[in-house]
Copies of this chain bind each other. A is one copy, B any other.
């Protein structure tokens, strides 16, 4: 496994490429992202953002009509660019390879995604809070996630089933069961429970999924 994929790296790239954002506008986005992650959206004031971005408060509103819009500007590239792109790269590099065993598959997938999740917990928090009380955004996320799963994960699992490497469990349940293990790790990290090295966690998760999903 190479170094973990930082969402924020993708994020900054997405910013650089995409829109003609001025330097200050980028500072604003980054300041917002970090503050939302630290304190939550509602507990972050535009004054906080302006200060951390080293910018006048009015500048925040030059491009972003309001605070809500600023959140959208952070979430939207996740959904529209970052997540799909990561899914694609992840698919090519980690999933749609010719695996000979379920364990190989799981080793590739779980290792990569676990490190990804761990490296981006604070960003995931922002996304989560945003989804929590916003139906519109939740639906958007659902769309993107469903699409990514359908294109990357499902084909790989289907192939494994054809090779009789995975039990006859519906694809959506296989996905749910795998995702569950990531959520469990996030939960542990989040609550800051008794420490357990990520690589150890990965080993146990792979072991368990390997046995559990086998035919």
Residues of B within 8 A of A170 (CB): 196, 204
Say if the beta carbon of A212 comes within 8 Å of chain B.
yes
Say if the beta carbon of A173 comes within 8 Å of chain B.
yes
Cβ–Cβ contact B188 & A40, under 8 A: no
A residues with a Cβ closer than 8 A to B are 39-43, 125, 129, 131-133, 138, 141-142, 145-146, 167, 169-170, 172-173, 176-177, 179-181, 183-185, 187-188, 191-194, 196, 201, 204-205, 207-214
Q: Is the interface of A mostly helix, strand, loop or mixed?
A: helix
Complex formed: what's the CA distance from A187 to B187 in Å?
A: 12
**Minimum C-beta distance from A209 to chain B (A):** 6
In the complex with contacts A184-B180, A184-B183, A185-B176, A191-B132 CB distance below 8 A: no
Residues of B within 8 A of A204 (CB): 169-170, 173, 177
Copies of this chain: 4
Cβ–Cβ contact B132 & A40, under 8 A: yes
Shortest 4 CB-CB distances between A and B: which pairs? Answer: A212-B212, A180-B184, A42-B42, A208-B212
